[in-house]
Structure 1
């Protein structure tokens, strides 16, 4: 009997401790959309991506031209020359695929550029979140924009506007936690 009572008391203490914890969430996508530096970073990423896309397109056009020239001259070439041209075209195609992977692959140039440019912004957000967590005495802070799945989030627990205020980007006329 004592074990059951002790178990119930322990369960009540654990539940009351969990219920007493304060938590909140932010939406980094929303915060980034309000940061002028993030728009500048996006512009730089777009410019770099456009440059790389042009380089890839130019490589493909070169391959297409090589194939077109080969088809036009194929009947005039010896077997050895045909093999050499086919190999040359195949090598160019492989180079183009490797370059595409180098730019847009999982650890490619675009990923590295984005990481390089976004790290200072994410650090600013992280510092602001830490201040908000300490000021508001929160124990947990989630990011709605991250891979964490939130089926429902009560807007009362959205601290994105507080983080924006901490970053100096808050709207003086906007009441935190009263988003559209």
Structure 2
């Protein structure tokens, strides 16, 4: 769908004689693979991922030991001791699952660490993209390797205000002073560049169902 959209935009821009805009594309996946800063960030990410994965694996290994010990001693335990041991195991399982989500969840610590490590790389890439577009007088820059599609757009081609007015929406009521666009100018607008996500070594932990009900 993304590629279809890009091709559609390109065909419209290139097919109209009245358009004088210049467009270009780049391959950010290839570019970032050649950046020492990106490689360093990937290495750091791998270290954190492996460290946290080991901690979670250790937690589940401890649960396995507790379960084996319980099964070996079950016949000798009173009903009260059985319930106590079962609850201890269940609490450990819950704790391990919550910690796994805390680290490798959608907004977990690994995700936050990736943002932190990638921020300087993203900023450096965006500065380069903006400078190249300015020097080459490009109005649009696409990234063929990313879902984000558009890396750079000249704000003078932004007609959002006109569309909002057509819909009966006052654009000024939907923007703060700091977000007010310098529309219809030649000031370059920066669009955040999406750098390919580094490989993450998430723990291959399967959901465990307690053997003890």
Global fold match (TM > 0.5)? yes
Aligned match of 1:108: 108
Deviation at 1:76, TM superposition (A): 1.0
Aligned match of 1:44: 44
Deviation at 1:117, TM superposition (A): 0.3
Partner Cα separation in structure 1 for residue 105 and residue 18 of structure 2: 46
Aligned match of 2:85: 85
Cα distance per residue 1:51-84 (max 9 Å; x no partner): 0111011001000000001101111111111111
Structure 2 runs not aligned, ≥5 long = 1-14, 151-213
After TM superposition, the structure 1 = structure 2 runs for residues 60-75 of structure 1, keeping only pairs within 5 Å, are 60-75=60-75
After TM superposition, the structure 1 = structure 2 runs for residues 17-28 of structure 1, keeping only pairs within 5 Å, are 17-18=18-19, 20-28=20-28
Deviation at 1:149, TM superposition (A): 6.6
**Counterpart contact for 2:143–2:149, Cα < 8 Å:** no
**SS at the partner of 2:18?**
helix
Partner Cα separation in structure 2 for residue 119 and residue 148 of structure 1: 17
**Counterpart contact for 2:142–2:149, Cα < 8 Å:** no
Aligned match of 1:55: 55
Flag the structure with more relative contact order, 1 or 2, with Cα contacts below 8 A and sequence separation at least 6.
Answer: 1
Partner Cα separation in structure 2 for residue 26 and residue 149 of structure 1: 10
Deviation at 1:145, TM superposition (A): 2.5
**Counterpart contact for 2:74–2:82, Cα < 8 Å:** yes
Aligned match of 1:140: 140
User: Rg larger in 1 or in 2?
Assistant: 1
Deviation at 1:28, TM superposition (A): 1.7
Partner Cα separation in structure 2 for residue 149 and residue 142 of structure 1: 5
Partner Cα separation in structure 1 for residue 109 and residue 145 of structure 2: 24
Partner Cα separation in structure 2 for residue 129 and residue 147 of structure 1: 17
**SS at the partner of 2:145?**
coil
State the Cα RMSD in Å: 1.7
Structure 1 runs not aligned, ≥5 long = 1-13, 151-180
Partner Cα separation in structure 1 for residue 45 and residue 98 of structure 2: 21
**Counterpart contact for 2:56–2:100, Cα < 8 Å:** yes
Aligned match of 2:17: 16
Q: After TM superposition, what 4+ stretches of structure 1 lie above 4 angstroms from structure 2?
A: none
Alignment size in residue pairs = 136
